[in-house]
Every structure is written in C-alpha cells, then in structure tokens.
Amino acid sequence: FELQQPQKKVAVAVGEMLTLNCTTSGFAAPGPVRWLKGLGSGNKTVYDQRGGSLPNVMRALVGSDTDFTIHIRNFEPNDVGTYYCVKFTKESNGKEEMFRHGNGTEVSVRETALVPGVVAAAVVLCFLLLGLFVALCMYRRKRQGRAGSPCPAGTVAVGSFSSVPLQCCAGTPGTPSEVLDRESSHLPSQQSSKEENDIHYADLQPLPPAPRRSRSSGTAPTEYASLRVAAK
C-alpha cells in the first residue's frame, strides 16, 4: 500500500479555494481515509471518508477509492496549518489505528497584490480630491477677504478748499457703510439707481466781496463746490 501527498507548501489568498492532493495505491486492511489538520492529540478532522467532514470541504472525485483530493472553500486565516492525508485500519478489537500518512502539506496565507490599474485609479482620485480641496480653500479665503477687508482711507482736495477725508467709500455686500448713510441723508429722495451709488460732498463758503452788480438786496454771494465719488 502506498499513499502519496505531493504538496509540501501551499499559499492561498483569503476567500479562495484550497486544494489538497492525496492518492493511494495497492491494498490495505479495511479502514477509512481522513484528512487531519495536525497530528497527535491536538489534531482536527477536516475530511472523513465515512462522514463527519467540515461543511466547507468536499471531495474532488466523489466515490473514488484511490483519489482523496479535497477542496476547502472560502479559505480563512484560521485555516492556516499543516494538513495530513491519513489511512486508518480497523483492528480486531474494533479500534481504528493510524496505518499510513503523508508527509504533510503546510498551508499559509498569500497576500493579494493590488492590480496596477486599481493603484493608478486610486492615485488619480487622491490628486483630484486634493485639487478640489485646495480650490475650495482658495475660494473661501478669497470670499472672506472681499467681505471683511475695509476700504483704505484717503483724502481728496477740492480746488482751494481744505481736503475732504474719504474713509469707507461704500459698504461691502451685507455690511452697510456709516459714511454712506450719513451723507446720503442730505441728498434728494428721488434719484436714479446709478445716482444712488454716488456719494456727494458739498462745501458752502462765502465769496470775497465782488464789484456790485445788479442783484437783489439781501442775497449773500456764495459758492457751491460739489464732489461726486462713485461707490465701489
């Protein structure tokens, strides 16, 4: 009687099917063939020719008396170990004894390599997400800068008159300008939409005495200086 277990080492990825080869030839006393995980007192029966196999284990050639190759479906990390194909014989006292066994097949987990296309797609996706994040940050910073930065203060000289301070020309959207409100209160109520965005500065000062002309009595000579600044 001969028993062949040709596989020495097998690496299997998690979730794949593990195939363990075992064939016999010749004649031996009656008794079953079993697959054991480990030898000795701590062994575990994986396949039993007479029944009692694990649910995820099946024969490659059902009913064969010489080929005892088995398949273990959905391989998991706890299936790692050394498997032995063992021939048992039944003694006269009715007890089964180990008659012959193979050299054992050491089974380990194989790390699955990522497909290059998947890696490339993941890298491109990361770059796209990074670019989108940077663009969003720049947009938010630009929008906050427009909404929160005050207008620079400055002065405007009107002819020979004193300089007129210009502080915030116009309020930003949602931020009313105090200067605009104060100055616009002196303007006429009926103006066009374009004139509503203008700010008027006026200075009334008396003119020096001029040669008398035909004017009505009681009228003091004055000059009206106006400065119009477009709101931005």
**pLDDT value, residue 53:** 92
Examine the pLDDT at 175 and tell me if it is beyond 60.
Answer: no
Q: Which of 118, 146, 17 is nearest to 76 (CA)?
A: 17
* Residue 149: other Cβ atoms inside 10 A: 9
* % of the chain surpassing 70 pLDDT: 60
CA distances from 63 to 50, 53, 67, 71, 107 (A): 11, 15, 9, 15, 26
* % of the chain surpassing 90 pLDDT: 41
Distance, CA of 118 to CA of 110 (rounded, Å): 19
Examine the pLDDT at 161 and tell me if it is beyond 70.
Answer: no
Place of tokens 């007192």: 41
Q: Which of 129, 80, 72, 130 is nearest to 105 (CA)?
A: 80
Averaged pLDDT for residues 160-174: 45
Query: 38-70 pLDDT, tens per residue?
Result: 988 889 999 999 988 999 999 999 989 999 999
**pLDDT value, residue 11:** 96
Domains of the chain, earliest start first:
2-109 (2.60.40.10)
Higher-confidence residue of 121 and 166: namely 121
Q: Which of 208, 200, 162 is nearest to 183 (CA)?
A: 200
Which token pair is 1? 């009687």
pTM: 0.50
**pLDDT value, residue 7:** 97
Report DSSP state, residue 67: B
